[in-house]
Amino acid sequence: MNSLNQFFATFIRIYIDGFRNLSSWGRKVWLIIIIKLFVIFAILKLFFFPDFLGRKYNNDIQRSEYVRNQILNSSDKND
Amino acid sequence: MIENINPGLIDWSRAQFALTAIYHWLFVPLTLGLSFLVAMMETIYVRTGKEEWKRLTRFWMTLFGINFAIGVATGIILEFEFGTNWSNYSWFVGDIFGAPLAIEGILAFFLESTFVAVMFFGWNKVSRKFHLLSSWLVAIGASFSALWILVANAWMENPVGMVFNPDTVRNEMMNFWAVLFNPVAVDKFLHTISSGFVLASMFVMGISAWFLIKKREELLAKRSILIAGIFGLASSLFLAFTGDSSARTIARIQPVKFEAFEALSDGKQNAPLVAFGVLHGSGEKIGGKELPNFIFKIEIPDLLSVMTSGNKDAYVPGLKDHIEGNSDKGILSVIEKAERGKIARQTLLDYKKAKENKDNEQIGVLLKKFQDQGFRDNYFKYFGYAFINSPEEVIPEIYGAFYSFHLMVILGFLFILIFSLALIFLFNGTIGSKRWFLWILLFSIPLPYLASELGWILTEMGRQPWIIQDLMPVKIAVSNISADSVKTTFFLFVFIFTALLIAEISIMLKQIRLGPKH
């Protein structure tokens, strides 16, 4: 247990020291990463990419019924 | 109620996915290849203890880090698109697609939060050997992470190891190992990672050539060319080998795609391989689709027969065989496949009615039918053909497939030549004085990117009209959402990805100009 704690402590120390001593390019790319993750998860996901079936239906039975109808009705159109 | 899908929506959804995938793939292959080159350089440093190898390692590691950081999470957007734009498809593929992507996500997170951190922040804080181990684990982990994405993609090309559940309307994984060792997945993985190795090797050689042109860091540049040249040559030879194997698998599993990228309208014995050619319309049509012919072509006699069957006298089917059928060769026509597909679809419809009527006996009979191997192999396998309106609809865009494939192959052989020449000039000590060749190396950096993207364009366009080969056409996979919202996000992505690319290039160029730290 002690060695495992030591292992994690080393990792945390590496992180802290690494962020304290970031190079110029390191600061730039971390800034880009943070902006990018914010845009992806807080803007794109929330406002532009909802889960289509998840939002439209409450449970999997309704979702499977919807997809079944979509598929079967599509084929009816092609007969 | 039948919900009508606007054809414009399908095109915009496809365009958006293509745009995202193409941009995402600008970052991934360099990560795959450069991580191995860095690990090799660091290995030499650890074994020799020479500081110049450490400088070299840290320089290329910096460029790896920039690429890795800018590219990270760009692939997540593809998963968003599945859930929003391709919901019928996402539902239909069920856990087949979810399981490999989940493994990839967990693996990527684990790697990125641990070993990449040790790689960049761990110099002088952990032992040399542990640091080296971290670098190798990042390299192996990046390829392993790519494996799961490629396994998922390969399943779309060759759906195996699953059974369709008519209750949930989902495909459920029956045999994980069949999914993992799908022949398309094996070929795709080996071909894709080796293309990343080639791309990164060319990247390292091109930048090293720039240092030689500028007469800066000459020793380090030559050492980089040595490592990248050997790795690049070995990888490009392996790439040719895996490409050959991949083409053979496609000929067997996706013959129409194969015939499209060979522009092979008529089947023939002793089929020649077209090394290159220029296409034009032949005037001959299948339905409304005109088949192409060659204005001119360079052929290698019998080679296509040898490549596909190992026998120069073997018959190689053409597009007409697979569209109109060829009973002598045991090839079903599209119409015959559509009949079988419609039986599978009717079985699903009957199941729905049995459920509505609460007819438990009929439900049991039909459930067994969906699990029966004979029904799966002879009927459900062609489920997607029930939605095909006319036989020619299953022919992909031949011109795009033919030119993408042939340009990719030509570039592949060019890379073998470039890596070979670089090593020859390096070993005879003349590389520094051959400025013309150094310029070629520098301007060759974009070529593997082009080849790699062409490979993906061929893979995805060549599979059309299918999103899942023979099971689901693209037109029924798309969500019934507004085409305008897809257009909006398309242009939003153009802006975001272009900004990321500009950021990557500008930060990288600055670091390259600075060169390795002293």
- Residue B37 makes CB contacts below 8 A (sequence gap 6+) with B60, B200, B201, B204, B227, B228, B231
- Check residue B394 and give its pLDDT: 94
Q: What is the rounded CA–CA span in Å between residue B49 and residue B67?
A: 27
DSSP H helices, B51-121, are 51-71, 76-85, 87-93, 95-113, 115-121
Tell me, yes or no, whether B405 lies in a domain.
yes
Instruction: Please check whether residue A73 touches B, CB under 8 A.
Output: yes
Domain total in chain B: 1
Distances (CA, A) of B500 to A3, B3, B43, B69, B410: 41, 38, 32, 10, 30
Which of A33, A53, A75 is nearest residue B386 as measured by Cβ atoms? Answer: A75
For residue B44, being part of any structural domain is answered with yes
Residue B362 lies in a domain: no
As a whole number of angstroms, the distance between CA B345 and CA A71 comes to: 9
- Chain A residues whose CB is inside 8 A of the B489 CB are 44, 48-49
Residue B296 within any structural domain of the chain: no
The boundaries of the domain holding residue B81 are 10-257+394-506
A29 and B83 within 8 Å at the Cβ level: the answer is no
Map residue B109 onto helix, strand or coil.
Answer: helix
Whether A27 and chain B come into contact, CB under 8 Å, resolves to no
User: If contacts are CB pairs under 8 Å, which of residues 144-163 in chain B contact chain A?
Assistant: none
CA distance A9 to chain B (A): 12
A10 and B126 Cβ atoms separated by less than 8 Å = yes
Considering the domain boundaries, does residue B407 fall inside one? yes
Structure tokens given for B286: 């299948």
Exposure string of B230-261, with b = 16+ CB inside 10 Å and e = fewer, is: bbbbebbbbbbebbebbbbbbbebbbbbbbbb
Minimal-distance CA residue of chain A relative to B472: A71
Q: Within chain A, how many helices (H) and strands (E) appear?
A: 4, 0
- Chain A partners within 8 Å of B342 (Cβ): 75, 79
Is B104 inside a domain boundary?
yes
How many other CB atoms sit within 10 Å of the CB of residue B186? 19
For residue B275, tell me if it sits in a domain: no
Question: Is residue B367 in some structural domain?
Answer: no
Average pLDDT over residues A24-38: 88
**B70 and A CB contact within 8 Å:** yes
CB contact under 8 A, B121 and A18: yes
Q: What is the pLDDT along chain B (518 residues), one digit of tens a residue?
A: 345 556 688 889 999 999 999 999 999 999 999 999 999 999 999 999 999 999 999 999 999 999 988 887 788 888 888 889 899 999 998 878 777 777 777 777 677 677 888 888 888 888 999 999 999 999 998 888 888 889 989 999 999 999 999 999 999 988 989 999 999 999 999 999 999 999 999 999 999 999 999 999 999 999 999 999 999 999 999 999 999 999 999 999 999 999 999 999 899 999 999 988 999 887 788 888 888 889 999 999 999 999 888 888 999 999 999 999 999 989 999 999 999 999 999 999 999 999 889 889 999 999 999 999 999 999 999 999 999 989 999 999 999 999 999 999 999 999 999 999 999 999 999 999 999 999 999 999 999 999 999 999 999 999 989 999 999 999 999 888 888 888 888 998 888 889 888 988 899 999 999 988 75
CA–CA separation, B207 vs B201, rounded Å?
10
The neighbouring-strand residues paired with B472 are B468
Give the Cα separation of B175 and B353 in Å (integer).
30
Partner-chain residue, chosen from B73, B84, B88, that has the shortest CB–CB distance to A71: B88
- Touching check for B485 and chain A: CB below 8 Å? yes
CA distance A49 to B85: 8
Cα angle A72-A76-A78, degrees, rounded to a multiple of 5: 120
Q: Looking at residue B204, what is its pLDDT?
A: 97
